[in-house]
Amino acid sequence: MRFLPSDGAVIFLVMLVMALALLFETGGQPAPEGQAGPGGEAALGRTPRRPLPAPGLRDIKLQLEEREKIGSGVGTAFVVSRGYWLTARHVVEGCDRLGFVVDRRQVTPIKGSAVSHPDADIALVRADAGRSPALSLGPLPDIGDAGYHYGFPGTGKGRVSSALIGRGELHGKSLRGVGRLVLVWAETGREGVAPGSLGGISGGPTLDASGRLVGIAIASNTRRGRVSTVAPYTIKQMLKSEKVQAEDEAQTRWVNAPSFSELERIGTVRQLYCKVGS
């Protein structure tokens, strides 16, 4: 005697076949919790990552105009560890004295010294930071990631927002090896910063969307809306060579990139004055 399967049994068999087919499609292994299965990041509603490729022929070629410093000037510096500040090398090169600008009117002399990277546009300044919190180091950003540049361009001060568009190869007489490899960002907005040149923002920090340090501003092209920064690897190399312990990226105090006014209020970012001559 033959028995026809009940409706419930038919439904069970169909569901079993579908489950087995799905298992074979995924290679027999379900996707771990929190990770994307078939369809990748897009299946979870996330934007797929676009890691920065290794240095190559597609790197953006940039020419650095290096001129002898003939007068005093200003730049930006920020706290990276207790008693240590980072800035751009060209901000402190050729200076007879350094100081922090207070309220745009007076200068507090710096008693410490500056050490420059031999091949890259980055320098470490030894100076009292008081209780100003240091910035935490972040990882190499992906293409398309947001970046925020802080400093004192022109007669203003504020934050420039941008998006990473690729790696650049910066050519100049004093740049060699890793010092030539920089990150190139496309401007997307300005807060408190007037249109025009970004001169004076050099040496300022570049933070990612989580408030972690991922660069130092060293050059800009106002016409094209581009900002070039030192890469995280170069920053870590500089700190390691001088045996400076920086904050780990997991210790960042911010969930989002802070405003310029907040960094200025807590003393983490300051305007740096370079005095040339007596």
Paired tokens of 133? 């919190």
Q: Report the pLDDT averaged over residues 179-204.
A: 92
**Cα–Cα distance for residue pair 226/19, rounded to 1 Å:** 52
The 3-state DSSP composition of the chain as helix, strand, coil percent (nearest 5) reads 20, 35, 50
Q: What is the per-residue burial (b if ≥16 Cβ within 10 Å, else e) of 27-43?
A: eeeeeeeeeeeeeeeee
pLDDT of residue 14: 39
Cα separation, 207 vs 256, whole angstroms: 10
Higher pLDDT: 118 or 12? It is 118
pLDDT at residue 187 tops 90: yes
The yes-or-no verdict on residue 2 having pLDDT over 60 is no
**How confident is the model over 102-129, as a mean pLDDT?**
90
By CB neighbour count within 10 A (0-12 exposed, 13-18 middle, 19+ buried), where does 235 fall? buried
Q: Report whether pLDDT(34) > 70.
A: no
pLDDT at 154: 85
**Mean pLDDT along residues 101-105:** 82
For residue 249, is pLDDT > 90?
no
Q: Tell me how crowded residue 254 is: count the other CB atoms within 10 A of its CB.
A: 15
- Whether 65 has a pLDDT exceeding 70, the answer reads no
pLDDT at residue 67, as a whole number: 60
Q: How confident is the prediction for the chain on average, in pLDDT?
A: 81
| Predicted local distance difference test score (pLDDT) of residue 96 | 92
CA 137/CA 147 separation, integer angstroms: 14
Residues of the chain with pLDDT > 70, as a percent, come to 76
The 8-class DSSP code of residue 119 comes to S
Of the given ranges (14-28, 83-97, 187-201), which has the lowest mean pLDDT? Answer: 14-28
Angle at 164 between CA 215 and CA 204, to 5 degrees: 30
* pLDDT at residue number 100: 96
Domain at 61-275: CATH code: 2.40.10.120
Residue 53: which pLDDT band, with cuts at 50, 70 and 90? confident
Residue that the structure tokens 């560890």 belong to: 81
Q: Rounded mean pLDDT of 101-113?
A: 88
Tokens describing residue 23: 């298992």
Give pLDDT, residue 19.
Answer: 45
The pLDDT value given to residue 135: 94
Instruction: Collapse the DSSP code of 271 into the 3-class scheme (helix H, G, I; strand E, B; otherwise coil) and give the result.
Output: strand
Q: What pLDDT shows up at residue 59?
A: 79
Please report the DSSP string for 57-110 in residue order. Answer: TTSEEEE-------S-EEEEEEEEETTEEEE-HHHHTT-SEEEEEETTTEEEE-
The answer on pLDDT for 7 being more than 50 is: no
Beta carbons of 159 and 191 less than 8 angstroms apart: yes
Q: Is the predicted pLDDT of residue 46 greater than 60, yes or no?
A: no
Q: Which residue has the higher pLDDT, 20 or 195?
A: 195
How would DSSP label each residue in 181-217?
EEEEEEEEEEES--SS--TT-TT-EEE-TTS-EEEEE
Between 37 and 178, residue with greater pLDDT: 178
The predicted pLDDT at position 20 comes to 40
Q: Is the pLDDT of residue 174 over 90?
A: no
